[in-house]
Amino acid sequence: MTNTSTVPNRVFPQAKQDAETAKQGAATAQTADPAYKLAFQDTEFLLREDLRPIRFQLELLKPELLLEEAKIGSTLVFYGSARIPEPAQAAALLDAATDDRSRKIAERLVAKSHYYDVARELARLASECPRDVDGKRQFVICSGGGPSIMEAANRGAADVGAESVGLNIVLPHEQAPNEFVTPSLSFQFHYFALRKMHFLLRARAVAVFPGGFGTFDEMFELLTLIQTGKAKPMPVLLFGREFWERVVNFEALAEEGVISYKDLELFRFVETAEEAWAIIREFYDLAPCGSF
């Protein structure tokens, strides 16, 4: 009988080993030229235009592998404006207003500032879900990793000692992750498309707070995916009926025949964290404590 303990797991060196060995090679005209670099260590090569498909694959794989290793089974995604202040900072907006227009905008932002606390509370409720029978965490908080509503979501998870995900993106202006994202689950993207994909791959519920172009883009893409059957239905919760009905006339879209009246059932208007969490629990038939 063969003693399997003497059979090696592999016969070729790992890429990491060869990468270290390559650093120790002799310095010659050949080894100094970029052509001699190992392809996976050659940044200039990886950044070539014709390597875009490889970069797409890398941005798909890196978060996917790390989220799987972290046993993230599903997420509760938060969309919302990066400009809505938390209540404690809201007064400063009014103080900084210099004319009627800026004062009116500040007043509206102040009126929406309570959604920071609502997002934080919803994140707390979801983050208390225990692990499932496979040891995976469900409804892990996932945000864009930035300030305002995104910060509130990650902060709510941190309030109860739970990990949370942040999907940041490189922008022309400085964009640092908020301090409440779990460092090992804080990702940075170059491609918007891959970032948006990771928002939804594990999403089992989505909380949409008042927001601008980015929030609209993400929300309507999700609604389109569900409408067309590309994604299964899930709770899509729009916080602030007054805001949403003021900026989007959903009824008019149905009246014009460009969507069906049935499409108005793809989302629900909510106002409080408790109301939103109750809808998610009912949809998935969760026990009151959130256990499975």
The residue-averaged pLDDT of 137-162 equals: 97
Q: Which long-range contacts (CB under 8 A, 24 or more apart) does 61-70 make?
A: 62/187, 63/167, 63/187, 63/198, 64/198, 64/201, 66/184, 66/185, 66/187, 67/165, 67/185, 67/202, 70/163, 70/184, 70/185
Predicted pLDDT at 265: 98
Banded model confidence at residue 120, pLDDT cuts 50, 70, 90: very high
Residues facing 203 on adjacent strands: 75
28-40 pLDDT, tens digit per residue, is 998 999 999 999 9
Predicted pLDDT at 174: 65
276-286 pLDDT, tens digit per residue, is 999 999 999 98
106-118 pLDDT, tens digit per residue, is 889 999 999 999 9
Q: Is the pLDDT of residue 290 over 50?
A: no
Q: Is the pLDDT of residue 292 over 50?
A: no
Predicted pLDDT at 2: 60
The residue-averaged pLDDT of 182-189 equals: 97
Which CATH number describes the domain made up of 71-284? 3.40.50.450
Banded model confidence at residue 3, pLDDT cuts 50, 70, 90: low
Cα distance between residue 134 and residue 131, in whole Å: 8
Structure pTM?
0.91
At 208, give phi and psi (nearest 5°): -115, 115
Banded model confidence at residue 143, pLDDT cuts 50, 70, 90: very high
The residue-averaged pLDDT of 70-80 equals: 97
Residues of the chain with pLDDT > 90, as a percent, come to: 80
157-181 pLDDT, tens digit per residue, is 999 999 999 999 999 886 789 999 9
| Nearest in space to 182 (alpha carbons), one of 222, 220, 217, 137 | 137
Residues facing 72 on adjacent strands: 137
Write down the domain spans for the chain.
Answer: 71-284
The residue-averaged pLDDT of 128-142 equals: 94
The alpha carbon dihedral of 226, 227, 233, 237 has a sign of positive
Between the ranges 129-133, 153-157, 284-288, where is the mean pLDDT highest? 153-157
